[in-house]
Amino acid sequence: MLVIGATGELGAAVARDLVARGIAVRAMTRRVDPLLLAGVDEVVRADLGDPSTLGAAFAGVQRVFLLSSPAADQVALETNAIVAAEIAGVQHVVKVSNLPIAGLDSGLHGNHRAIERRLASSRVASTVLQPSFFASVLLRQIALLRRRRVVLPTGDGRIAWIDPRDIAAVAGEVLASPAPPAGPLRLTGPESLAAAELAVRIGRAAGGEITLVQPDLDKWGADLKSAGMDPWLRESTLHLYAAVTTGALSDVSADVSRVLGRASRPIDDWLHDELVPRLARAE
């Protein structure tokens, strides 16, 4: 089993899930972090941007977990992985994508739709995972949360936040299954929350009131620019948040339950297990 992106938080969680199932894992990475890669059978250094490095990484592999960082060249990078899988005779690819949003066909969403189309046309079977907002997005605001503030420029739009642990569990189940579902699998949490409701949940978990800040999107975009965010990613982010304000990510899916045989985790579990301990360490 080849796990691409194994040093990232989600890729590492998928690798751990597979190792716990007794499945041999080959971790592909451009850098090696022994702590993240503990327990895997093999580590290969390869780069999706350099197809000449992919042959050895894919050789003899039957199934592949495909995950790459959001970037303007993401289509080219993941297409390189798909071509390498075709050449190596891989049987199945599990790709992490995102939830499609009507009318959002550029930027990161456009990238994922293009990659999904390329996978659909491949002779290699595939399953696409389409998660909603990762709860771990909140970790980017640790400093603000220490000051009892959270910034969510989503208006009254509701989000069915997904615990990344559920994404990893679904990926592991699909990769290990003798008859993996074709997908796409829409991965969401069990409920849809407005920003104000989420702020209350965060405050309850953290033991104090959290002030919700909802800046105008144009102003927020200017702040992201001042902070040095990549222009392509900034535009993608602004378009996404604008769509969220209209309810684009409010639907709740049963696909996590269908694959895992249990309900998806509520946001409260992630806040208690992941956010609160990190807030304590930050202090």
Collapsing DSSP states into helix, strand and coil, what is residue 83? helix
Q: What angle do CA 101, 108, 27 make, to 5 degrees?
A: 115
**Beta carbons of 90 and 66 less than 8 angstroms apart:** no
Distances (CA, A) of 282 to 48, 142, 193, 237, 275: 34, 8, 26, 26, 11
Beta bridge partners of 23: none
Q: Domain containing 65 — which CATH number?
A: 3.40.50.720
Task: Classify residue 139 by burial, with Cβ atoms within 10 Å: 0-12, 13-18, 19+.
Answer: middle
Count of structural domains within the chain: 1
Q: State yes or no: pLDDT of 249 exceeds 70.
A: yes
Q: What is the mean pLDDT of residues 30-41?
A: 67
Q: Which domain holds residue 99?
A: 2-132+162-188+251-264
For residue 36, the model assigns a pLDDT of: 54
For residue 270, what pLDDT band results from cuts at 50, 70 and 90? very high
Sign of CA dihedral 14, 18, 20, 24: negative
- CA dist 87 and 84 (Å) reads 5
**pLDDT score recorded for residue 182:** 82
Closest C-alpha among 141, 164, 178 to residue 62: 178
pLDDT exceeds 60 at position 276:
yes
Average pLDDT on 229-241 reads: 93
Q: Is 157 a domain residue?
A: no
Within-domain flag for 106: yes
Residue 201 within any structural domain of the chain: no
Look up tokens 């910034």; give the residue.
151
Q: What is the pLDDT of residue 175?
A: 98
236 found inside a domain: no
Mean predicted confidence (pLDDT) in 9-34: 88
**Burial bucket for residue 235 (CB in 10 Å: 0-12, 13-18, 19+):** middle
Assigned domain for 11 exists: yes
Give the model's confidence band at 38: pLDDT under 50 very low, under 70 low, under 90 confident, else very high.
Answer: low
* Residue 92, in any domain of the structure: yes
Confidence label for 34 from pLDDT (cuts 50, 70 and 90): low
The pTM assigned to this predicted structure is 0.95
The string of pLDDT tens digits covering residues 125-175 is 999 999 999 999 999 999 999 999 999 999 999 999 999 999 999 999 999
Evaluate whether residue 67 is within a structural domain: yes
* 75: in domain: yes
Q: Which residues pair with 20 in a beta bridge?
A: none
User: Are 94 and 171 within 8 A, CB to CB?
Assistant: yes
